[in-house]
Each structure stands twice: as C-alpha cells, then as structure tokens.
Amino acid sequence: MIKSDEVSSYSKSRFASLVAIVFSLLSCTTETVEWINVPLAENIYYASSPQHKTNSIEIPLSANSDLEYMLDMKQGNSVSYQWLANNLSDSELLLTEFHGHTIRISEEPGEVMFYKQGRGESSEGYMVAPFDGVHGWYFSNETDRDITISLSLSGFYKLP
C-alpha cells in the first residue's frame, strides 16, 4: 500500500522535473537563420485551381495514314500520359512525335516545341506546358494494317 506522504513526495519530484525541463528549454538560445527572399515569378502561383482530369481514349489509326491528337493546355499546367499501339506488326513502322505549339491568330509564325520524337509501340511521360496552346501527339502508321492507340491521361487539360 502506498502511503500518502510517498504520493506527495512523488508528485513533488515529478513537478520539480517538469519545472527543470521548462527552464532548460527557456534558456536554450536559438540561432537566427538568414533566408534569401526569392521573388515570385510568373506562372508559379495561381489563385484558382484548374480541374484535374483522368481519361482513357482509344484512337483508331488506319493503315498508311497519320493523325494528330492534341490537348488544349495553359502554360504551367501538366499532364502525365501513357500510350500503347495495339495490333502493330512492327514497332519501327510507327513514327511518333510529342510536341506542342501556340495557337496562331495571324499570319505571324507560331512557336512549336518538340518534347519527344521516335519510333515504337509505346511511350509514357510527364510534361509541364511551356506556353498556352495545344500539346499532344503526331502518329504516323506506316504499316498495311489498321491499329488503335490506347492513350491514358491524367492532369490539367481540355480534350479536343
């Protein structure tokens, strides 16, 4: 059985320990850390958030033909993607370009940027739009059979 003077002694000891800890924390000196303020650049912060989308799209591509599949995107918006060519007999016979360009509103030249070019049956990646415009894929099927491109998207864009 614990005697009341033992409880009182334990409580006093515990209280004294807590007081000692508080005083030791108060006596610690804190170093002032310097920071370099970096100005906020354009297209870093937005007061409203765009709608995040996720889509799976089947794109038919006839034999010996080509097409572009483009997304409308604002500068700074991003998209992650994965595509796979179905029914492709030879991966070297599918030419692909992932690119973006501005929307021309006059006869002045627009801007175009190529993100990835090559041949193959699949690709995946992530892109942050460097400018307002359309961004997407050019596919050229150089085979004698129809194929389908299965495209999976996730990000901030508008579909055509």
In CATH, what number is assigned to the domain containing residue 131?
2.60.120.1090
Buried b (16+ CB within 10 A) or exposed e, 16-35: eeeeeeeeeeeeeeeeeeee
CA atoms within 13 A on the CB side of 52: 3
* Residue 145 included in any domain: yes
Contact 64, 141 (CB under 8 A): yes
Which residue segment(s) compose the domain that 86 sits in? 53-155
Tell me which residue of 72, 118, 128 sits closest to 98, measured CA to CA.
Answer: 118
Q: What does the mean pLDDT of the chain come to?
A: 89
* Residue 123 included in any domain: yes
* Residue 45 included in any domain: no
Per-residue model confidence (pLDDT) at position 133:
97
* Residue 160 included in any domain: no
How buried is residue 157: exposed, middle or buried, by Cβ count under 10 Å (0-12/13-18/19+)?
buried
Per-residue model confidence (pLDDT) at position 160:
85
Per-residue model confidence (pLDDT) at position 86:
98
Per-residue model confidence (pLDDT) at position 41:
87
Judge if pTM exceeds 0.75.
Answer: no
DSSP characters over the chain: ---HHHHHHHHHHHHHHHHHHHHHHHH---PPPP-PPPPPPTTS--SS-PPPEEEEEEEEE-TTEEEEEEEEE-TT-EEEEEEEEES-S-GGGEEEEEEEEPPP-SSS---EEEEEEEESSEEEEEEE-SSSEEEEEEEEE-SSS-EEEEEEEEES-B--
- Give the chain's domain count: 1
* Residue 38 included in any domain: no
* Residue 66 included in any domain: yes
CA atoms within 13 A on the CB side of 114: 6
pLDDT along the chain (160 residues), means of 10: 56 66 61 90 80 97 98 96 98 98 91 97 98 98 98 96
